[in-house]
Protein backbone atom coordinates (compact mmCIF):
# COMPACT_ATOMS: atom_id res chain seq x y z
CA UNK A 1 0.00 0.00 0.00
CA UNK A 2 2.83 2.43 1.02
CA UNK A 3 4.00 3.91 -2.27
CA UNK A 4 0.62 3.76 -3.98
CA UNK A 5 -1.21 5.43 -1.12
CA UNK A 6 1.07 8.40 -1.71
CA UNK A 7 -0.07 8.49 -5.32
CA UNK A 8 -3.77 8.13 -4.46
CA UNK A 9 -5.91 10.68 -2.72
CA UNK A 10 -9.05 9.33 -1.06
CA UNK A 11 -11.98 11.70 -0.70
CA UNK A 12 -15.63 11.43 0.29
CA UNK A 13 -18.02 13.90 -1.32
CA UNK A 14 -21.56 14.87 -0.36
CA UNK A 15 -22.58 16.48 -3.63
CA UNK A 16 -25.65 18.33 -2.47
CA UNK A 17 -28.10 20.62 -4.24
CA UNK A 18 -27.45 23.34 -1.65
CA UNK A 19 -23.97 22.53 -0.25
CA UNK A 20 -21.05 20.35 -1.22
CA UNK A 21 -18.94 18.90 1.60
CA UNK A 22 -15.68 17.01 1.14
CA UNK A 23 -13.89 14.80 3.67
CA UNK A 24 -10.18 14.11 3.25
CA UNK A 25 -8.00 12.35 5.85
CA UNK A 26 -11.03 12.01 8.17
CA UNK A 27 -11.47 15.78 8.28
CA UNK A 28 -14.05 18.01 6.63
CA UNK A 29 -11.85 20.15 4.41
CA UNK A 30 -14.46 21.77 2.15
CA UNK A 31 -17.96 22.89 3.10
CA UNK A 32 -19.23 25.32 0.49
CA UNK A 33 -22.51 26.23 -1.24
CA UNK A 34 -22.97 24.32 -4.52
CA UNK A 35 -22.72 27.39 -6.75
CA UNK A 36 -20.29 28.48 -9.45
CA UNK A 37 -19.93 31.85 -11.15
CA UNK A 38 -19.01 31.63 -14.82
CA UNK A 39 -17.84 34.29 -17.29
CA UNK A 40 -20.25 33.91 -20.22
CA UNK A 41 -17.71 35.09 -22.82
CA UNK A 42 -14.96 32.61 -21.97
CA UNK A 43 -17.01 29.87 -20.23
CA UNK A 44 -14.31 30.05 -17.51
CA UNK A 45 -15.11 29.69 -13.83
CA UNK A 46 -14.67 32.97 -11.97
CA UNK A 47 -15.69 31.93 -8.45
CA UNK A 48 -16.95 28.90 -6.59
CA UNK A 49 -18.74 28.14 -3.34
CA UNK A 50 -19.21 30.98 -0.84
CA UNK A 51 -17.59 33.57 -3.15
CA UNK A 52 -20.02 32.65 -5.92
CA UNK A 53 -22.94 32.69 -3.46
CA UNK A 54 -22.15 36.29 -2.57
CA UNK A 55 -22.49 37.15 -6.27
CA UNK A 56 -25.86 35.39 -6.56
CA UNK A 57 -28.55 37.77 -7.75
CA UNK A 58 -25.99 40.56 -8.18
CA UNK A 59 -24.30 39.70 -11.48
CA UNK A 60 -23.96 41.76 -14.68
CA UNK A 61 -24.55 40.65 -18.28
CA UNK A 62 -21.20 38.86 -18.73
CA UNK A 63 -21.35 36.90 -15.51
CA UNK A 64 -23.82 34.27 -14.38
CA UNK A 65 -24.11 32.18 -11.24
CA UNK A 66 -25.16 28.58 -11.74
CA UNK A 67 -26.31 25.95 -9.29
CA UNK A 68 -25.20 22.83 -11.17
CA UNK A 69 -27.54 20.54 -9.21
CA UNK A 70 -31.31 20.76 -9.18
CA UNK A 71 -33.48 18.34 -7.21
CA UNK A 72 -30.40 16.36 -6.20
CA UNK A 73 -29.54 15.73 -9.85
CA UNK A 74 -26.86 17.25 -12.09
CA UNK A 75 -28.66 19.79 -14.26
CA UNK A 76 -25.61 21.49 -15.81
CA UNK A 77 -22.94 18.96 -16.67
CA UNK A 78 -20.16 21.41 -17.52
CA UNK A 79 -20.70 23.56 -14.41
CA UNK A 80 -20.88 20.45 -12.19
CA UNK A 81 -17.55 19.19 -13.48
CA UNK A 82 -15.90 22.60 -12.99
CA UNK A 83 -17.36 22.81 -9.48
CA UNK A 84 -16.14 19.34 -8.43
CA UNK A 85 -12.70 20.04 -9.88
CA UNK A 86 -12.52 23.47 -8.21
CA UNK A 87 -13.57 22.10 -4.82
CA UNK A 88 -11.06 19.23 -5.00
CA UNK A 89 -8.39 21.87 -5.72
CA UNK A 90 -9.34 23.61 -2.47
CA UNK A 91 -8.04 20.57 -0.54
CA UNK A 92 -4.44 21.30 -1.48
CA UNK A 93 -4.17 24.60 -3.33
CA UNK A 94 -0.36 24.29 -3.75
CA UNK A 95 0.53 23.32 -7.32
CA UNK A 96 2.10 19.85 -7.51
CA UNK A 97 4.34 18.21 -10.08
CA UNK A 98 1.65 15.62 -10.74
CA UNK A 99 -1.92 15.32 -9.56
CA UNK A 100 -2.57 12.16 -7.56
CA UNK A 101 -5.17 9.63 -8.70
CA UNK A 102 -8.43 10.18 -6.86
CA UNK A 103 -10.48 7.51 -5.16
CA UNK A 104 -13.93 8.93 -4.43
CA UNK A 105 -17.10 7.90 -2.70
CA UNK A 106 -19.99 10.17 -3.67
CA UNK A 107 -23.52 10.06 -2.32
CA UNK A 108 -26.53 10.21 -4.61
CA UNK A 109 -30.32 10.38 -4.07
CA UNK A 110 -31.91 6.96 -3.61
CA UNK A 111 -34.36 7.65 -6.40
CA UNK A 112 -31.62 8.31 -8.99
CA UNK A 113 -32.11 6.79 -12.43
CA UNK A 114 -29.31 5.04 -14.37
CA UNK A 115 -28.86 8.19 -16.44
CA UNK A 116 -28.51 10.40 -13.36
CA UNK A 117 -26.01 8.01 -11.75
CA UNK A 118 -24.07 8.05 -15.01
CA UNK A 119 -23.97 11.86 -15.01
CA UNK A 120 -22.45 11.95 -11.49
CA UNK A 121 -19.92 9.26 -12.46
CA UNK A 122 -18.90 11.04 -15.68
CA UNK A 123 -18.55 14.42 -13.92
CA UNK A 124 -16.42 12.83 -11.20
CA UNK A 125 -14.21 10.99 -13.67
CA UNK A 126 -13.71 14.14 -15.75
CA UNK A 127 -12.72 15.94 -12.55
CA UNK A 128 -9.96 13.38 -12.00
CA UNK A 129 -11.63 10.44 -10.25
CA UNK A 130 -9.80 7.19 -10.98
CA UNK A 131 -11.99 4.97 -8.80
CA UNK A 132 -15.49 6.27 -8.23
CA UNK A 133 -17.96 4.61 -5.85
CA UNK A 134 -21.48 5.76 -5.07
CA UNK A 135 -23.59 5.39 -1.96
CA UNK A 136 -27.27 6.19 -1.57
CA UNK A 137 -27.89 9.26 0.59
CA UNK A 138 -30.18 7.73 3.25
CA UNK A 139 -27.69 4.86 3.69
CA UNK A 140 -24.85 7.38 4.15
CA UNK A 141 -27.01 9.37 6.59
CA UNK A 142 -27.75 6.24 8.65
CA UNK A 143 -24.04 5.36 8.85
CA UNK A 144 -23.19 8.99 9.72
CA UNK A 145 -25.78 9.03 12.52
CA UNK A 146 -24.08 5.94 13.92
CA UNK A 147 -26.76 3.32 13.23
CA UNK A 148 -25.69 -0.27 12.67
CA UNK A 149 -26.92 -0.63 9.08
CA UNK A 150 -25.77 -4.24 8.73
CA UNK A 151 -27.73 -5.55 11.72
CA UNK A 152 -30.91 -7.57 11.12
CA UNK A 153 -33.14 -4.80 12.43
CA UNK A 154 -35.02 -1.88 10.91
CA UNK A 155 -33.69 1.67 10.98
CA UNK A 156 -35.57 4.52 9.38
CA UNK A 157 -33.98 7.73 8.18
CA UNK A 158 -35.58 10.86 6.74
CA UNK A 159 -32.96 13.03 5.08
CA UNK A 160 -34.34 16.44 4.05
CA UNK A 161 -31.75 18.04 1.81
CA UNK A 162 -31.86 21.00 -0.56
CA UNK A 163 -33.29 19.25 -3.61
CA UNK A 164 -34.75 15.96 -2.40
CA UNK A 165 -36.18 14.39 0.72
CA UNK A 166 -34.92 10.82 1.05
CA UNK A 167 -36.87 8.43 3.21
CA UNK A 168 -35.55 4.91 3.69
CA UNK A 169 -35.91 1.86 5.88
CA UNK A 170 -32.57 0.08 6.16
CA UNK A 171 -31.83 -3.44 7.34
CA UNK A 172 -29.01 -5.97 6.74
CA UNK A 173 -26.92 -3.46 4.80
CA UNK A 174 -29.61 -2.72 2.23
CA UNK A 175 -32.52 -0.37 1.61
CA UNK A 176 -35.78 -2.25 2.17
CA UNK A 177 -38.25 0.52 1.29
CA UNK A 178 -37.42 3.94 0.05
CA UNK A 179 -39.17 7.03 -1.10
CA UNK A 180 -37.37 9.92 -2.73
CA UNK A 181 -39.48 13.03 -3.28
CA UNK A 182 -38.44 16.29 -4.86
CA UNK A 183 -39.87 18.45 -2.11
CA UNK A 184 -37.09 19.77 0.12
CA UNK A 185 -35.23 22.89 1.24
CA UNK A 186 -35.39 24.62 -2.16
CA UNK A 187 -39.15 24.22 -2.30
CA UNK A 188 -39.55 25.70 1.18
CA UNK A 189 -37.43 28.67 0.03
CA UNK A 190 -39.60 29.06 -3.08
CA UNK A 191 -42.77 28.90 -0.93
CA UNK A 192 -41.43 31.77 1.18
CA UNK A 193 -40.56 33.91 -1.89
CA UNK A 194 -44.05 33.35 -3.29
CA UNK A 195 -45.74 34.07 0.06
CA UNK A 196 -43.87 37.36 0.54
CA UNK A 197 -44.89 38.43 -2.97
CA UNK A 198 -48.56 37.57 -2.48
CA UNK A 199 -49.06 38.51 1.13
CA UNK A 200 -46.76 41.50 1.61
CA UNK A 201 -46.32 42.73 -1.96
CA UNK A 202 -42.55 42.62 -1.50
CA UNK A 203 -40.06 41.17 -3.95
CA UNK A 204 -37.25 39.11 -2.41
CA UNK A 205 -34.43 37.02 -3.85
CA UNK A 206 -33.45 33.45 -3.12
CA UNK A 207 -30.82 34.46 -0.55
CA UNK A 208 -33.26 36.56 1.50
CA UNK A 209 -35.86 33.78 1.42
CA UNK A 210 -33.18 31.38 2.67
CA UNK A 211 -32.41 33.77 5.57
CA UNK A 212 -36.09 34.00 6.50
CA UNK A 213 -36.25 30.18 6.53
CA UNK A 214 -33.20 29.94 8.81
CA UNK A 215 -34.33 32.64 11.25
CA UNK A 216 -38.09 32.14 11.48
CA UNK A 217 -38.76 28.94 9.51
CA UNK A 218 -41.11 26.72 11.51
CA UNK A 219 -43.23 23.61 11.02
CA UNK A 220 -45.58 24.50 13.89
CA UNK A 221 -47.60 27.65 14.45
CA UNK A 222 -47.15 27.29 18.24
CA UNK A 223 -43.55 26.99 19.48
CA UNK A 224 -42.35 26.79 23.10
CA UNK A 225 -39.54 29.34 22.66
CA UNK A 226 -40.52 31.34 19.59
CA UNK A 227 -37.84 33.21 17.60
CA UNK A 228 -38.18 37.01 17.27
CA UNK A 229 -39.71 38.40 14.08
CA UNK A 230 -37.32 38.79 11.16
CA UNK A 231 -37.33 42.14 9.36
CA UNK A 232 -37.21 41.99 5.57
CA UNK A 233 -36.34 44.93 3.35
CA UNK A 234 -37.12 45.14 -0.32
CA UNK A 235 -39.05 46.94 -3.06
CA UNK A 236 -42.82 47.15 -3.06
CA UNK A 237 -44.05 45.29 -6.15
CA UNK A 238 -46.51 47.97 -7.21
CA UNK A 239 -44.55 51.15 -6.52
CA UNK A 240 -40.92 49.92 -6.40
CA UNK A 241 -40.51 52.04 -3.25
CA UNK A 242 -38.56 50.47 -0.38
CA UNK A 243 -40.56 48.81 2.39
CA UNK A 244 -39.76 46.96 5.60
CA UNK A 245 -41.83 43.97 6.68
CA UNK A 246 -41.48 42.08 9.98
CA UNK A 247 -42.12 38.36 9.41
CA UNK A 248 -43.24 36.07 12.25
CA UNK A 249 -42.63 32.35 12.54
CA UNK A 250 -46.42 31.73 12.57
CA UNK A 251 -46.72 33.23 9.08
CA UNK A 252 -43.90 31.05 7.78
CA UNK A 253 -45.39 27.94 9.43
CA UNK A 254 -48.60 28.73 7.56
CA UNK A 255 -46.84 29.24 4.22
CA UNK A 256 -44.76 26.03 4.51
CA UNK A 257 -47.80 23.94 5.50
CA UNK A 258 -48.40 22.43 2.03
CA UNK A 259 -44.81 21.31 1.43
CA UNK A 260 -44.41 19.87 4.94
CA UNK A 261 -47.66 17.93 4.54
CA UNK A 262 -46.21 16.36 1.38
CA UNK A 263 -43.14 15.24 3.37
CA UNK A 264 -45.46 13.77 6.04
CA UNK A 265 -47.42 11.87 3.38
CA UNK A 266 -44.20 10.47 1.91
CA UNK A 267 -43.04 9.26 5.36
CA UNK A 268 -46.41 7.54 5.90
CA UNK A 269 -46.24 5.97 2.45
CA UNK A 270 -42.75 4.56 3.18
CA UNK A 271 -44.01 3.17 6.50
CA UNK A 272 -46.96 1.58 4.70
CA UNK A 273 -44.59 -0.43 2.49
CA UNK A 274 -42.42 -1.53 5.42
CA UNK A 275 -42.56 -5.25 6.43
CA UNK A 276 -44.25 -5.65 9.85
CA UNK A 277 -41.16 -7.03 11.67
CA UNK A 278 -39.10 -3.99 10.66
CA UNK A 279 -42.04 -1.69 11.43
CA UNK A 280 -41.98 -2.93 15.03
CA UNK A 281 -38.24 -2.11 15.28
CA UNK A 282 -38.88 1.41 13.98
CA UNK A 283 -41.69 2.06 16.46
CA UNK A 284 -39.36 1.01 19.31
CA UNK A 285 -36.32 2.97 18.17
CA UNK A 286 -37.90 5.97 16.50
CA UNK A 287 -37.08 7.65 13.19
CA UNK A 288 -34.00 9.77 12.52
CA UNK A 289 -34.08 13.17 10.82
CA UNK A 290 -30.99 14.36 8.93
CA UNK A 291 -30.14 17.04 6.36
CA UNK A 292 -30.65 20.80 6.60
CA UNK A 293 -34.43 20.41 6.72
CA UNK A 294 -34.11 18.68 10.11
CA UNK A 295 -33.19 22.11 11.53
CA UNK A 296 -36.64 23.53 10.76
CA UNK A 297 -38.07 24.57 14.13
CA UNK A 298 -40.70 22.20 15.52
CA UNK A 299 -40.47 19.69 12.66
CA UNK A 300 -39.55 16.74 14.90
CA UNK A 301 -42.46 17.50 17.27
CA UNK A 302 -44.92 17.91 14.42
CA UNK A 303 -43.94 14.61 12.80
CA UNK A 304 -43.95 12.79 16.16
CA UNK A 305 -47.49 14.06 16.91
CA UNK A 306 -48.78 13.29 13.42
CA UNK A 307 -47.26 9.82 12.93
CA UNK A 308 -47.13 8.58 16.52
CA UNK A 309 -43.49 7.44 16.31
CA UNK A 310 -40.73 9.42 18.02
CA UNK A 311 -38.55 11.47 15.66
CA UNK A 312 -34.95 12.20 16.69
CA UNK A 313 -32.81 14.91 15.13
CA UNK A 314 -29.33 13.66 14.24
CA UNK A 315 -26.42 15.37 15.88
CA UNK A 316 -25.10 17.94 13.34
CA UNK A 317 -27.75 16.92 10.76
CA UNK A 318 -26.14 18.92 7.94
CA UNK A 319 -23.07 16.71 8.04
CA UNK A 320 -24.54 13.31 8.83
CA UNK A 321 -24.50 12.28 5.16
CA UNK A 322 -20.89 13.26 4.52
CA UNK A 323 -19.74 11.61 7.75
CA UNK A 324 -21.37 8.37 6.61
CA UNK A 325 -19.79 8.76 3.17
CA UNK A 326 -16.41 9.18 4.88
CA UNK A 327 -16.89 5.97 6.88
CA UNK A 328 -17.91 4.14 3.68
CA UNK A 329 -14.72 5.42 2.02
CA UNK A 330 -12.61 3.74 4.71
CA UNK A 331 -14.54 0.47 4.32
CA UNK A 332 -14.92 0.32 0.56
CA UNK A 333 -14.09 -3.42 0.51
CA UNK A 334 -16.34 -4.25 3.44
CA UNK A 335 -19.58 -2.54 2.46
CA UNK A 336 -21.49 -4.43 -0.21
CA UNK A 337 -24.01 -1.64 -0.81
CA UNK A 338 -21.55 0.69 -2.54
CA UNK A 339 -22.19 1.03 -6.26
CA UNK A 340 -19.02 0.66 -8.30
What would the pLDDT profile of 157-170 be if each residue is shown by its tens digit?
Answer: 999 999 999 999 99
The whole-number average pLDDT for the span 307-335 is 93
Instruction: Output the pLDDT for position 335.
Output: 84
The torsion defined by the Cα of 33, 39, 43 and 44, in degrees rounded to 10, comes to -70
State the number of CA atoms in the 13 A half-sphere of 162 facing the CB.
20
Radius of gyration of the chain (CA): 21
CATH 3.30.420.40 at 153-183+260-315, yes or no:
yes
In whole angstroms, how far apart are CA 58 and each of 53, 68, 119, 205, 314?
Answer: 10, 18, 30, 10, 35
Residue ranges of domains in the chain: 2-140+321-330, 153-183+260-315, 185-255
Q: Mind listing the pLDDT tens digit for each residue in 297-316?
A: 999 999 999 999 999 999 99
Min mean pLDDT across 97-101, 124-128, 253-257 is at 97-101
CA 178, 213, 228, 258 dihedral sign is negative
pTM of model > 0.75:
yes
| DSSP 3-state of 43 | coil
Q: Is domain 2-140+321-330 given the CATH code 3.60.70.12 in the classification?
A: no
> What is the 3 state secondary structure string of 297-309?
ECHHHHHHHHHCC
Q: Which of these, 269, 116, 98, lies nearest to 178 by C-alpha position?
A: 269
Check residue 2 and give its pLDDT.
47
Domains 2-140+321-330 and 185-255 share a fold: no
Q: What are phi and psi of 274, to 5 degrees?
A: -80, 135
Q: What is the mean pLDDT of residues 203-231?
A: 94
Q: Which residues of 156-176 are buried (b: 16+ CB within 10 A; e: fewer)?
A: bbbbbbbbbbbbbbbbeeebb
Judge whether residue 172 has pLDDT over 90. yes
Q: What is the CATH number of domain 185-255?
A: 3.90.640.10
Amino acid sequence: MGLFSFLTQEIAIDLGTANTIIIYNDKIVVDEPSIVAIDIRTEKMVAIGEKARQMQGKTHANLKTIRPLRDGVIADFNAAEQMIRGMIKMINPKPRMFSPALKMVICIPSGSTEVEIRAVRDSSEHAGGREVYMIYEPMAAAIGIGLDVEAPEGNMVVDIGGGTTEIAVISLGGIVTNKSIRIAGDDLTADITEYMRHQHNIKIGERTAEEIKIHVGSALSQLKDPPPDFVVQGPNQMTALPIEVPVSYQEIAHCLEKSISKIETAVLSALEQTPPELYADIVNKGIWLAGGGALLKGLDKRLTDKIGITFHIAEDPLRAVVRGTGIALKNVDKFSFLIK
